[in-house]
Amino acid sequence: MSFRFELLKTAPNGARRGRLHTPHGTIETPAFMPVGTAGTVKALTQEALEELGAEIILGNTYHLFLRPGHDRIRELGGLHKFMSWPRAILTDSGGFQVYSLAELRKITDEGVRFRSHLDGTEYFLSPEKVLEIQMALGSDIMMVLDECIEAPAEYSATEKAAARTFDWARRSRKHLDEAKMRGEGLAQAMFAIVQGGTYADLRKQSARDMMSLGFDGYAIGGLAVGEEHAVTCAMTEEVTSLLPADQPRYLMGVGKPEHIPDYLARGIDMMDCVLPTRNARNGCLFTSQGRLVIRNARYASDQNPLDPECSCSVCLRYSRAYIRHLFMANEVLGAILATHHNVHFYLDLMRRIRQAIEFGDIRDFSSEWQSRLAAGPC
């Protein structure tokens, strides 16, 4: 199946309902992508992800390049076969991971030279190399290399980074076109990444620049990195107001569940975030009554499920008291059960949102759920 996006409905508040067709299945949008950085969503088996209804997961070019290496994954049949995952995969370019290395990397117009956080070995990644790695991985959606910068940042530095990101996108577009003429990467789509920090004019210019090159979809990067939520929403809206309506829109690295309806109201179709898995491993659970910190002593004798309104297999079988015991005893099963519940919570939230868009009550749904989800300390 070739890559294709269907826009089925747009709600009065701007939220979109669609379907994204890929060679490894159809993704109902808006969609949340669990993060499987190194070829695994931490603490979950692929069987569990299938049970939870995940239609697409995210892998990371930087981490898979370092370990086990893209050439080895290609020799083993590509990332889908290597990790035994039959559904869609999006691979992030690794730009954010390289940015986070700080003292270990140097960025130039040619690309990024960095030292591995694993053993200090020096590597160089160009926009072309990043695509070659992703083509070897065989992901359904590849992301172009972009330059991430800190927030807040000076206008001049942000402008320079956005211009460099555009140049890298131009080189990526050329490289993939040439590869497809040779018969390579024919089943893979490529998304551009709009940058521009918190400056509306730079965001708009970056969006126009990327659209001039023609991509299969457009991502918005460099947000939710410390700025106020209202700023994230404002910058997102500046970009989505310009993007083509018939192509998917991906807001990277978000978000808190109470913020998700706000992003969708700005026309976002896809998102990813480590919160459900990272918070789970730290004992923070998302529920319909707000956040729950399972280590709290108040749950030591609590025989209720994590969330009385949840239908996941964890809530149907285990008590808060038992899961708290697992965390206090440092048993790995605690992280497994908590992660299963949190990923279910996010995927179920997206299912409810899609249904609300279809039946025309997304505004009432968003208002009610945002007030409930914001509660809690973690």
* Cα–Cα distance, 181 to 107 (Å, whole number): 30
Predicted pLDDT of residue 105: 85
Q: Which two tokens stand for residue 57?
A: 């997961």
What backbone torsions phi and psi does residue 96 show, to the nearest 5 degrees? -70, -40
Q: What is the Rg, in whole angstroms, of the alpha carbon atoms belonging to the chain?
A: 20
* Cα–Cα distance, 161 to 203 (Å, whole number): 12
CA 272, 267, 350, 304 torsion: positive or negative?
Answer: positive
Q: Which two tokens stand for residue 177?
A: 């076109």
How far, CA to CA in Å, does 199 sit from each of 25, 159, 193? 37, 9, 16
The ranges of the chain with pLDDT < 50 are none
User: Pick from 254, 251, 247: which is nearest to 238 by CA?
Assistant: 251
Cβ pair 127, 179 in contact under 8 A: no
**Per-residue pLDDT reduced to its tens digit, 133-150:** 999 999 999 999 999 888
* Cα–Cα distance, 68 to 160 (Å, whole number): 34
Q: Which two tokens stand for residue 353?
A: 């949102």
User: Pick from 148, 294, 307: which is nearest to 223 by CA?
Assistant: 148
DSSP string, 30-71: SEEE-B-TTSS-TT--HHHHHHHT--EEEEEHHHHHHTT-HH
Q: How many CB atoms lie within 10 A of CB 367?
A: 10
Q: pLDDT > 90: what percent of the chain?
A: 87
Report the side by side order of strands in the sheet with 4-10.
Answer: 4-10, 16-22, 25-29
Q: Which two tokens stand for residue 259?
A: 């913020």
Across-strand partners of 191? 143, 217
**Per-residue pLDDT reduced to its tens digit, 183-207:** 999 999 999 999 999 999 999 999 9
Report the side by side order of strands in the sheet with 105-107.
Answer: 105-107, 112-115, 122-125
Predicted pLDDT of residue 376: 62
* Cα–Cα distance, 323 to 326 (Å, whole number): 5
What backbone torsions phi and psi does residue 22 show, to the nearest 5 degrees? -130, 170
* Cα–Cα distance, 6 to 9 (Å, whole number): 9
Predicted pLDDT of residue 283: 98
For the full predicted model, state whether its pTM sits above 0.95: yes
CA 133, 139, 140, 144 torsion: positive or negative?
Answer: negative
Cβ pair 189, 140 in contact under 8 A: yes
Predicted pLDDT of residue 377: 60
Q: How many CB atoms lie within 10 A of CB 251?
A: 29
Predicted pLDDT of residue 102: 67
The residues annotated as belonging to the active site are 92, 272
Predicted pLDDT of residue 375: 62
